[in-house]
Amino acid sequence: MLKRELFYTIRPQLQHKNAIVITGMRQVGKTTLMRQLYDDFEGKRLWFDLDNPLDQMVFENIDYDSIYNDLVRLSEVKNDERLLVCIDEIQNLPEITKVIKYLIDHFSVKFIVTGSSNYYLRNLFPESLSGRKFLYVLPVLSFREFLFFNGRISEDQLKGDLDKAMQTKSKVNILQTKELYAGYLEFGGFPEVVLTTGRDTKRLILRNIFSSFFEKDIRVFTELKDVRELRDLILLLAARNGNILDVSKLSSELGVNRVKMYNYLEFLERIFFLRLLPKFSKSIDRSVSGGKKVYFSDTGILNLVAKVTDGQLFETAVANQLTYYGELSFYNKRNKSEIDFILNKEIAFEVKQKALEPDYKKLQNLAGELGITRQYVISNTLSDVGNTVYPWFL
C-alpha cells in the first residue's frame, strides 16, 4: 500500500506510551494509515472496528481489568511483550476513552485510534487523557503525495522542504508535472479519486464522498435540525471561496441568526471540510479577530459543488499546499491592498496565474511595511520574475 508522508512522522511514536490519535475528513485514508502502522509494529497486535457492534462489546465491560484480560487472551501476549490495540471509528463509542486511559496507565497498552472528525474528538478526549495522546490530522493528498501516488517521485522524495521547493526552476521538471497539476486542481487529493482513471468515475467518487458527509458526519451532529440549511450554506461559501466572510450578510442570505451561523462555520471547520484563515497580526490576540477568508479543503469537492473561476481554484490549491508547512494567515490593508498568504508570520506570498514584475513590487512594498523580508509570487505559468515560486514543486 502506498504510504502517506504522515506515516513517517508517526512511526517513531510507536515506541512511546501515548495513544496515537489520527483524525481528518472522511475517506482521506485514516484506516489505511493505521493499517500500515499496525503492520509495522513489532509485537502482539489487535484490530477493532467500532462500526461493528461485536467489536464494541469488547470494550463495554465496566470491569476494565476484565477488558485487559480479554485483550491478553485474544492477542496471546506474554508478560514481556508489548501489545498494540488499533481501534477504527472511535467516535462510535465515546466512553472508550476511559478504558484507554486505564489500560495505558495500568498495563502500558499501546493504542492507535482513528476518528472521522476533530469536532467529535475534542469531546471524546477530555482532560483525563491530557498528556496521554498524540493527535495527528491526515488531510487530503499534498501535491507531492499526488506525484508519488502517480509514480512520478520516489518514497524517499515524499518529505517536502519548502526552501528547496521554492528554488526549483528546472523546465524539464515543469513540463513533467504541470499537466498533472491541472488534474490535481480539477479533481483534488482524495486518495481513491487520485488512484482512479476516468474523469466520469472520478466525479462519481467525489459525489459519493460528498454524500457520505451528509449521511454520517451530520447525523452525529445532533444540534443540526435542517440539513438543507447546511447544504445551502456550503453553496454560498463555495461562491465566496478565497474571500473574506461577512457573517452578517451570510446570516441574512441564509435566514439564520449569527450565533447559528457561527456554529455552522465552526462545524465545517472542525470536520476539516474547509479552513478559515485569520488576518495577519503580530499580536496573537488580534490575529483571531475580524473577518476570515474561507477556503475549501479539497479542490475536487469545490469543483463539484460550484462553478468557480480558475483563479479561485488555483488559490485554494495553493492555500492547501502551504498549510503543510505551517500556519497561514492573510493581510488586508483597509480593503485596498492585500497579501494572499503569510506563512508562519515570516514569508509573504501573492498568488497569480502568471507572475508579473508589478505583482512582486507591490507585494515587496506591502510586506516590507509589516517587517516581512521574504516575499514570493506563486505563478501557475512560467515567469521571468525573479522571486517566482511554482506550485508544481510545493
- State the total domains in the chain: 2
Q: Which residues share a beta bridge with 388? A: 377
**What pLDDT digit, counting tens, does each position of 314-344 carry?**
999 999 999 999 999 999 887 677 999 999 9
Q: Is the domain of 343 the same as that of 387?
A: yes
Domain termination residue (choose one: 137, 158, 186): 137
Range(s) of the domain holding residue 243: 145-393
Number of helices (H), then strands (E), in the chain: 19, 12
Q: For residue 41, what is the domain's CATH number? A: 3.40.50.300
Q: Are residues 78 and 172 in the same domain?
A: no
Across the chain, mean pLDDT equals: 89
Residues ≥6 apart with Cβ < 8 Å to 20? 10, 13, 14, 37, 111, 112, 113, 133, 134, 136
309 shares its domain with 387: yes
Q: Are residues 115 and 159 in the same domain?
A: no
- For residues 127 and 162, state if they share a domain: no
Q: Which of 108, 137, 166 is the last residue of a domain?
A: 137
Q: What is the pTM of this model?
A: 0.90
Question: For 272-302, how does the pLDDT look when each residue is reduced to its tens digit (9 = 90+)?
Answer: 899 999 999 876 544 444 589 999 999 999 9
- Check: CB of residue 180 under 8 Å from CB of residue 147: yes
Q: Which of 91, 119, 137 is the C-terminal boundary of a domain?
A: 137
Judge if 317 and 203 occupy the same domain: yes
- Kindly state whether residues 49 and 118 are assigned to the same domain: yes
d(CA 251, CA 229): 11
pLDDT tens by residue, 94-106? 888 899 999 999 9
Beta bridge partners of 348: 342, 375
Here the contacts of 252-255 (C-beta below 8 Å, separation 24 or greater) are 254/229
- Give mean pLDDT, residues 305-316: 94
Alpha helices in the chain (DSSP H): 5-10, 30-40, 53-57, 64-75, 96-107, 118-124, 143-149, 162-167, 171-187, 191-194, 199-212, 218-220, 227-239, 247-254, 258-270, 284-287, 299-305, 310-323, 357-369
Question: Distance of CA 199 to CAs 190, 196, 203, 205, 300, Å?
Answer: 14, 9, 6, 10, 12
